[in-house]
Structure 1
Amino acid sequence: MQGMGEGGCPFTFNTDPATFKVGDPVSYRVTGSLDGFPFAGVLLEVHDDYVVLTSDEDDKASRMRATRESRPVVREEDVC
C-alpha cells in the first residue's frame, strides 16, 4: 500500500495476550468469509479467557467479543 512507509506497517499492536490492557491497539482476525483479512481494533475489556474490542471507538454499538490470543479471533456472526 502506498504511504505505509519503509519497513511495513505504521501501527504498533500489542500481540502479547498476557499484557493486554484496556485501550491497547490490536490486530484481530475474523472467521468465515472474512478469514485471512487483517483488522485493527482497540481493546475495551480484558477478561481471563476473552477480550471485547472495537474497530470504531466512536461507535458505542461496535463491540465484539474475541478470543484472548496474540491476534484475537472474532466470529463472523459477531462482527458489528
Structure 2
Amino acid sequence: MQGMGQTAGEACPFEFNFDPATFKVGDMVSYRVTGSLEGFPFVGTLLEVHDDHVVLTDDPDKAINRYRGTRESRPLVEESEI
C-alpha cells in the first residue's frame, strides 16, 4: 500500500494477505468493523481460519482480544465483538 507513510511514496509498514483462499494462522489482515467504527481500517492477525469465518486479534503477543470475522479479503467484524 503506497502513500501510507509520512513521506510521499513511502510504503505501508504492514504486509497484508488479501486472499481469503490462502488465509492461514499468523497472517496479518486488514479488517473492518460495523457500526460506529465503519470506514476505519484495522490491522489484525489471524488466530483461526475456518471454512466460513476467521478469528483474529489486534494484539498477537497477548491474543486476549479475539474477534470473529467473515472470511473475505478484508474480514468484517461486528461492532458488538469489539
With structure 1 as the length reference, what TM-score do the two structures score?
Answer: 0.88
Cα distance in 1 for partners of 2:38, 2:70 equals: 15
- Consecutive unaligned residues of structure 2, counting only runs of 5 or more, are none
Cα distance in 2 for partners of 1:45, 1:51 equals: 6
Contact 1:17/1:70 (<8 A) preserved: yes
With structure 2 as the length reference, what TM-score do the two structures score?
Answer: 0.86
Q: Which amino acid aligns with 2:38?
A: D
2:53 aligned with 1:66, yes or no? no
Q: Which amino acid aligns with 1:70?
A: S
Between Structure 1 and Structure 2, how many residues are aligned?
A: 79
- Consecutive unaligned residues of structure 1, counting only runs of 5 or more, are none
Q: Which amino acid aligns with 2:66?
A: R
Query: What residue number does 1:29 align with?
Result: 32
The runs of 4+ residues in structure 1 deviating greater than 2 Å are 1-8, 58-61
Q: Deviation per CA, 1:7-61: give whole Å up to 9, x if none.
A: 4422110000000000000000000000000000000000000000000123332
